[in-house]
Structure 1
Amino acid sequence: MRDLDITTLRLFVSVCETGNIARAGQRANIVGSAISKRLAQLEDTVGTKLLTRKRRGVEPTAAGETLLEHARAMLATAGRVERDMAAYASGVKGQVRILATASVLAESLAEDIAAFLQAAPHRNIRVDMEERVSQEVVRGVKDGIASLGICWDAADFHGLHTRPYRGDRLAVVTGPDHPLARHEAVWFEDALEYEHVNMPAAGAVLRMLQTAASQSGKTLRHRVTVSNFDSAFRVVLAGLAISVAPVEVASPYALAHGLRVLPLKDPWSRRRFAVCMRDEKNLPAAARLLLDHLAAAGRDDALPA
């Protein structure tokens, strides 16, 4: 198969999104006939029909849907390449992209990176951070989306290299009038007497809680499932359920809204994070410098009591 043309892929995505070649042409300031010619060449390149013509426009075939997914990913990568090269042109001497979980971002990652960038040798380095769940952190590093990923060290790293980083502690979050709220810290088994608001199954915290519940001979009772911690704390504030979350993630919200954050007494509630990468020896110079800085911060870090 011949090389795919980025401009043609961009037009293909636009046609799929608008469902109309003429409207896609207006978007790109290109006549519809020129787009039609490019799309025909694209179908010839991939060797299959990509679009079905309808009375009021077009829609992708099954093959077209697959190409659309790949095209969007390729265009996103191309966009990152353009931004990265523009950064170098404007004076940046190195760039590092990091994927990290919400728990890591709530800890000291921003402060650690700020300290790194403030050092004179690093002032021409740019660091981009993006939040993902643990599985997506690992997958993103493996796929080359980011040089470094940071998540819970119990994740399945699929052969990636790792270095220790900091840690956190899980806590039960309740309303101020909840029966558990009078305690300063609790065992997870006691929290299993109540309904929980949980994160999606892809999250490392939920998998850990399900394992702990099973080992205690009890069931983790789900009342609500949400997509992020902020939504979970809103559910707790409404009195619908309790939640388990990292202390550093829950504390700012709890302070603002009067919730109780009760650290878990269970030994497994103290977690360590790890920095992962595809191959430490082949990291770009800027990423290698940042890795060493984060690993040093991890060595100096003491888990919260």
Structure 2
Amino acid sequence: MTRLDPTSLQLFIAVLEEGTIAAAAEREHIAAAAVSKRISEIESQLRTQLLNRTNKGIEPTAAGIALLGLARRALHELDDISVQMQEYASGMRGHVRIFANISAITQFLPAEIKSFLAEYPQIQVNLEEKISTAVTKAVAENAADIGIFIMQPHGHQLEVFPYHEDKLVLITPADHPLATRKATSFADTLEYDYVGLHTGSTINLQLQNAASELGRLVRFSIQVTSYDALCLMVGSGLGIGILPEGVARTYTKTLRLRTIPLDEPWTRRELKICVRAFDALPVAAKLLVNHLKRQSMEPSSPGKTHD
């Protein structure tokens, strides 16, 4: 059976609303004969009489009344499709996949995504935590629209934009021998056991590389998968740890921890935004990239770290 087209349904609705084919034709700016033909074609396709034609005009049959409701609903849904597609085209509606490392997620993204969604509530943001090497790989392979990572060689063809900076600091239990220092060298910390993050994390790699340059090794008493767990382990006296300053500041408020600056240039890190090609991004993803870039340039506010 041939599918009913929206124009025929609109003409059918007009006939019932106006009461005559002539009046419907005038309203829709089409010849009366063309309207009559369309109605006859619908009846032929449905194999059902829809109208009773009299000298006074037309009257809908029971099938005609049923089709009237169905036709109105169908045209309304078609209009809704058009509206929603226009929202996707303009960026008012959409879905963005963003992969980010734990430092970006814990320090910057909660407030920045919240302010973005306040402006674009119909855009869905899917955020996943990944280590930096996995972030760049996912963006290169189109598994994510946007990535946020610690700047390091990655070997992928990506467009990279500035984001935030952070600074790594040492955290110790309150009664640790290093706890009273105003600053310390990394070499001095290697006398003690560390609580480390999981294998492959950027911070662990930085620690091991820095120790290797000194001809030393980092002794990990335990490795964990989150900043929360690392701080709890340090607070329990299982070792010392290294975290971004913005993260450490949060935990020192609730745990008996001390934060100590490290006199090392490698502790200052650049976080970057990466995409495969900005011009090829969906509009919603472009809006989020631009929002994150603007947020990273704003003056420091409570809860944010701009070292």
Which residue identity does 1:116 align to in structure 2? F
The 2-side partners of 1:233 and 1:125 are apart by 34
1:301 Cα deviation from its structure 2 partner = 5.9
The 2-side partners of 1:216 and 1:164 are apart by 31
The 2-side partners of 1:159 and 1:95 are apart by 23
The 2-side partners of 1:243 and 1:155 are apart by 25
The 1-side partners of 2:195 and 2:109 are apart by 26
CA RMSD of aligned residues (A): 2.3
Kept in 1, the 8 Å contact 2:166–2:269? The answer is: yes
Identity %, equivalent residues = 34
Which residue identity does 1:190 align to in structure 2? D
Q: Please list, as runs of the form range in 1=range in 2, the aligned pairs for 1:146-157 lying within 5 A after superposition.
A: 146-156=144-154
Q: Please list, as runs of the form range in 1=range in 2, the aligned pairs for 1:35-184 lying within 5 A after superposition.
A: 93-119=93-119, 122-156=120-154, 158-184=156-182
After superposition, the C-alpha distances for 1:67-105 in whole angstroms (9 at most, x for unaligned) are xxxxxxxxxxxxxxxxxx9xx79x871221211111001
- Report the 3-state secondary structure (helix = DSSP H, G, I; strand = E; otherwise coil) of the residue aligned with 1:292: helix
1:115 Cα deviation from its structure 2 partner = 2.3
Which residue identity does 1:109 align to in structure 2? L
Kept in 2, the 8 Å contact 1:160–1:277? The answer is: yes
Which residue identity does 1:111 align to in structure 2? A
The 2-side partners of 1:158 and 1:301 are apart by 32
- TM-score of the two chains, using structure 2 as the length reference: 0.65
Kept in 1, the 8 Å contact 2:170–2:242? The answer is: yes
The 2-side partners of 1:181 and 1:131 are apart by 31
- Report the 3-state secondary structure (helix = DSSP H, G, I; strand = E; otherwise coil) of the residue aligned with 1:257: coil
Find the counterpart in structure 1 of residue 19 from structure 2: none
Kept in 2, the 8 Å contact 1:134–1:155? The answer is: no
- Report the 3-state secondary structure (helix = DSSP H, G, I; strand = E; otherwise coil) of the residue aligned with 1:179: coil
1:190 pairs with 179, 188, 191, which one?
188
Find the counterpart in structure 2 of residue 296 from structure 1: 294
- TM-score of the two chains, using structure 1 as the length reference: 0.65
Which residue identity does 1:105 align to in structure 2? I
Find the counterpart in structure 1 of residue 214 from structure 2: 216
Aligned length: 216
Find the counterpart in structure 1 of residue 45 from structure 2: none
Kept in 2, the 8 Å contact 1:142–1:278? The answer is: yes
The 1-side partners of 2:109 and 2:293 are apart by 11
Kept in 2, the 8 Å contact 1:166–1:297? The answer is: no
Find the counterpart in structure 2 of residue 274 from structure 1: 272
Kept in 2, the 8 Å contact 1:199–1:228? The answer is: yes
Find the counterpart in structure 2 of residue 199 from structure 1: 197
Find the counterpart in structure 2 of residue 242 from structure 1: 240
The 1-side partners of 2:155 and 2:280 are apart by 18
1:255 pairs with 237, 246, 253, which one?
253
Cα distance, 1:271–1:126 mapped onto 2, change above 3 Å: same
After superposition, the C-alpha distances for 1:102-156 in whole angstroms (9 at most, x for unaligned) are 100111222122222333xx33322221111112212222232220010101251
Question: Which one is further off, 294-303 or 207-216?
Answer: 294-303
Cα distance, 1:104–1:241 mapped onto 2, change above 3 Å: same
The 1-side partners of 2:121 and 2:230 are apart by 38
